[in-house]
Structure 1
Amino acid sequence: MDFAFDARTEELRGKLLAFMDEYVYPAEAVAHEQRALLASPWETPVVVEELKTEARRQGLWNLFLPDSEYGAGLTNLQYAPLAEIMGRSPQLAPTVTNCAAPDTGNMEVLTQFGDEQQRKQWLEPLLAGEIRSAFAMTEPDVASSDATNITTHIERDGDEYVVTGRKWYISGALHPDCKIFIVMGKTDPEGSDIRRQQSMILVPRDTPGVTIKRAMQVFGYEDHYHGGHAEVIFDHARVPASNLIGEEGGGFAIAQARLGPGRIHHCMRLIGMAERAIELMCRRAVSRTAFGKALAQQGVVHNWIADARVTVEQLRLLVLKTAWLMDTVGNRGAHTEIQSIKIATPRAVVDILDRAIQLHGAGGVSQDFPLAELYAGARTLMIADGPDEVHQRSLARRELKRYV
């Protein structure tokens, strides 16, 4: 069993690590300062655009997309350590390399299921970083952990579809460059197969009947770099029938194809967040004194740091195994492992971040360190892309099936 990264991965890791040290980490404070001076909190700080230009110049662009026609052509196993590095600055690094959700998932959908015109009109400008996008699936009035509950209607009317519904926590919708929504709704709400009732359709943001009602916060954060999270009303919004992605009734399958890579990308970045937390813990421990000795000499601090290191090493191996399986046997063959990392990684990283916050005292919950915002992001991932309990239920049923 060979645990070494291949030559291309090592080359990209070296370039990305240098890019993070030279450009990304120094830009974190600069971006925060520039954002405070913008007319709208959703506008992009100048330094972010400068970093995008530099990332493209260095070939650190669209690394997430395995299709070599459109992206870097990396396998999941090759991309995993790169996503981990970007996870050390999750608000900035994925954005400036065009590897940020929800655009990544939307580009994957258009690559796999979009037709030629849809790719030309929407995929190409997304790949170029000229526009942003949003994915409208979650709804406030139903338990969206069960996607079959979705109530948004997508009704055929001649050469058009009419979209009516209410969505919330629609990431990216508030960004001024967001030009397109991928909306999931029901085209056949009375159909006998509950997994064939849903479809996905492209709805331009400026379509009459589309209203951004309000910005949703996450633990008080507005998540500016991802374009925020919005509540969106679709009130008889009409779009051409050609905007349907794939076929009627294919929405559920498209959603599953979209969420598989998304889940592993989140877990890869979470490991990077944990590594950043361990680094901050160690720096704090050797620089602070309490009750007559350095924090680094306190036994409880030793336990926190050691446990964090062991946990990260375990998680990384499981995530890399999952990436390898996705590459070799496909997402369906890696179903157990995908669910395992989705359950294990966020909760473990939340615990590591919690210890790091504790070690930093008041500073840990302040804006002077990234820990509080990292915690909010990690804790959210225990809900996003399917709450832990849904994955536990499915995983347990698969295990039990062998004994029934």
Structure 2
Amino acid sequence: MRNDHQNLGKVSREYMVWLCNLEELRLVYGPELQQQALEVAVERLQRQGLSARLAEPKGCSLLASESLCPTEGAETEDQAQDRLERICSAIGREPVTLGAKKAYLQVEAQALGGISLRSMSELHGRSRSIACRRQQPAARNLRPRWRQDYQQDMYLACRLLDDLRLGILAVAFQPVAALNSAGPGPSMYYECLLRRNISAESDGYGVPDAIQALERLGLVERLDRSVLWTALDALAANQEVSLGCNVSARSFASAAWWTEVLVYLEEHPGVAQRLVVEITETSSFPDEKSAQALIRHLQILGVRVALDDIGTQCGSLDILDKVRANIIKLDKSVLEKAAGGQPTMKMLQSVVGVCTDRGVSVIVEGIDSAAALDTALGAGASGAQGYFIAHPSLHLHGLFDQILHVPDVLLQMDAVAYDWAHMLNWSRPDSSTMPGQRMA
């Protein structure tokens, strides 16, 4: 009777939670890690005051529910998005481990509302993460290599995300110099490059390789979000600098955290006008229309958008028809080819001309020698970046004298000044119920 009395007036809200890479984890690491991941996910949801069970037998999604006290007024969209983010953060912010095996979960959540369980498979097919699936090859002889590649990517991803959680990652600054007839001029902006701020280099790994691994695994959004907010804070702290920040194409999708960024930029136009968002070309947009709308919104607010790592291969400039960027950054390979012969130099000049006609500035990367700089100048490029201009540095003297560390945005979100569970008046599930029993 006491429990019934406590539950009087309670309302229930349900969510579908997808563990988007669970099938890949089973194929690569075995069913034991898959089961461990499911149990850990349920346990982490319980700590947030939700109960959870498998939505379907042998599936990769959980049906989570919470009991809430009715509140005055309907829940706002921001509150609903914040709740979904916290659900995903609770499950995905730390890795799942089983012995020597270790992996981060890729998580998405959706409030069910009036959606029936029968519609879940169709809804999952429209999720942002479906494009990131690493399909096992049909040919049996190719599967061992596929599993090996996946394990290597997950190893690098774990190293990088662990360093992010531990506060080991920092920003190094490399200037992008404007070019004129006399050579390099003042800096157009400084690109923020991710580095490990740690002296034990023997225990190191390649940060660029790890970032690409995160992209291939569909786990890069957390890193992009953390680095972008670090850049925004730095711009707010110093009004004399412009900064460029890399964001993977995979992160350009409709999400609550982008709404927060856009609101901040609208309220701080001086920051927006000094920000360059560099979109890496190493992966595709989850949804082109959504990405185009987001890019256009950034530009309306005054943000300059750059397309990074563009090559001269056939079709590489087709993206200009889809994304009306302010800046094109040509990959180092373009410069190397142009230096090798006159026909390729003419091609480079043609690329610069096409971009200039569209009002797009062209920056050539990989300027590591005087000869490379002469090639960029001869092609008519607007800017140059490379070791010959300046090496990346953790200290930007006169602007940022202290090392700029990158805090993990998910850990920051958990450290907010209010108790989310208390605010929602949640009724916590019975702690005596084991995760495996809830999924039965």
Confirm or deny a common fold (TM above 0.5). no
TM-score w.r.t. structure 1 length?
Answer: 0.25
Structure showing the higher strand proportion among its residues: 2
- Which structure is larger by alpha-carbon Rg, 1 or 2? 2
TM-score w.r.t. structure 2 length?
Answer: 0.23
Quick one: higher RCO (CA 8 Å, sep 6+), 1 or 2?
2
Structure showing the higher helix proportion among its residues: 1
